[in-house]
Chain A
């Protein structure tokens, strides 16, 4: 299985498509750091918990859309034609989808490391700041639940019809980039955690009594993230186990 995973990852990483994705993420990260994060969020330092979670929130849409685009290759014509050979081997459909999902998961980690490393280098060079350990929990809270949910959803939609994945790409892009707040994007569809900034932080800032705005991830936010993980895993389980023979 390790060998198969190695080949799956190689197939994705050693492609022009992936190179362009990485270049786009590098450009977008550079823009976010130098134009938006450098000023800090709501008067906090650029390397504060507030600013870093905002940074994760800013890079998230492009990262997730890229991953959905990569997932779409599991269901494109080329892969479908290869399946006629692959499914003549003893690999089960469940193992096949687990293999594909795990490969995308590894690619997600590798790709996420690009903006994360860039941010760490930026903080070190610009501000001499090096205490990155505190950021790890935010990376898990902001990036992973969104990814797991979208991985499960994309796999499920792809299995129904690959065109549904292509439809999902602009939808996710819009939800992520149009930081519209709770009035337009309801809480249940807030897969990127935009409401956390739009509502929670605003109320904290208005009613604050201290100079330093305390940073705390509210329980409601954490539950929403856990729900996304759970939903994503349910979608994945369903995709892996649903028989698709004619």
Chain B
């Protein structure tokens, strides 16, 4: 499968949710969309699944414009939106059967439902009405319906919200395994999720792509911009003030026996800081910081 986004923009009442996005995605791929709230991640995902129309630009799927070929995409799509509803009067099994009918799964429907239920560990709840289940279990039903048709393109928006750490790891691995022969696009706030499974990362902010590439490249770009400093005693005002001024961003604060150790990301790291190897989270923060500086410039 091949997806191309050409000069995609989306405006809501003169507010640009997406600004001239260009992107090419080929299978297999496991892509992580990251960015702060309102960055445009969900808007971009809704466009990719044909639920939103761009104000300008084209989305091309397998060589054909999406708006002329929506059925082709939707037959191959699994989608988990960030905010979704389920038919709570139905049981888990009935809802998945309903979704299977919508997705046009005729042959081996029972097998597909059983597989989705098993992969999302919902066996015990299959005969339960959805309204009786917890938020995490409902999230798992959302994932189950997305993988029901074994899709060539799986788009999941904040899929691990409401899941416990063990389930999060399990679903991360599930998406990762799925990406061996297909496209999986994952949107998240949790950089750790991206770090552990994605071979490509797209950083979005204010509707623009700040970075698109491999996670290691993003980390490479942040070398020499991440450091630590330990403040002995209670002389923390100076560093906190600098942080407030936007000179650097504090990514972690650890209380030590002698004082407080800060991990910071900065465009130009002061000499008093000890340089360290950046993590993907540091690199993401640096990317955002650089974006802000460029915008201000």
Contact = CB atoms under 8 A, between A and B. Distances in A.
Q: Do A and B bind each other?
A: yes
Interface of A: 1, 3-4, 7, 10-11, 14-15, 77-91, 245-246
A82 B98 CA distance: 12
Given A3-B97, A78-B85, A84 B51 contact: yes
Contacts of B125: none
B228 to A, nearest CB: 43
Contacts of A4: 98, 101-102
A1 B104 CA distance: 10
A81 B82 CA distance: 10
Nearest to B157: A84
Interface in B27-74: 49, 51-53, 71, 74
Interface in B70-123: 71, 74-75, 77-81, 83-90, 94, 97-99, 101-104
B84 A84 contact: yes
Contact of A85 (B89, B97, B99): B99
A3 B83 CA distance: 26
Contacts of A15: 89
20 contacts: A3-B97, A3-B101, A4-B101, A4-B102, A7-B94, A7-B101, A14-B89, A78-B85, A82-B84, A84-B81, A85-B84, A85-B85, A85-B99, A86-B102, A88-B74, A88-B77, A88-B81, A89-B103, A90-B102, A246-B52
A51 B211 CA distance: 77
Contacts of A78: 85, 88
Contact of A80 (B85, B89, B90): B85
B200 interface: no
A245 B55 CA distance: 12
A88 B74 CA distance: 6
Given A85-B142, A88-B51, 16 more contacts: A7-B90, A7-B97, A10-B94, A15-B89, A78-B85, A84-B85, A85-B84, A85-B145, A88-B49, A88-B81, A89-B99, A89-B103, A90-B75, A91-B102, A245-B53, A246-B53
Contact of A79 (B78, B85, B142): B85
A78 B86 CA distance: 8
B105 to A, nearest CB: 10
7 smallest A-B Cβ distances: which pairs?
A: A81-B85, A88-B79, A82-B85, A89-B102, A84-B81, A90-B74, A11-B89
Interface in B157-180: none
Nearest to A5: B101
Contact of B79 (A7, A80, A85): A85
B171 to A, nearest CB: 17
A245 B54 CA distance: 10
Nearest to B43: A246
A44 B74 CA distance: 61
Contacts of B104: 89-90
Contacts of B142: 85
A88 B157 CA distance: 13
Given A15-B89, A90-B75, A85 B81 contact: yes
Max chain A Cβ within 10 angstroms of own Cβ: one of B84, B85, B86: B85
A84 B42 CA distance: 12
A82 B89 contact: no
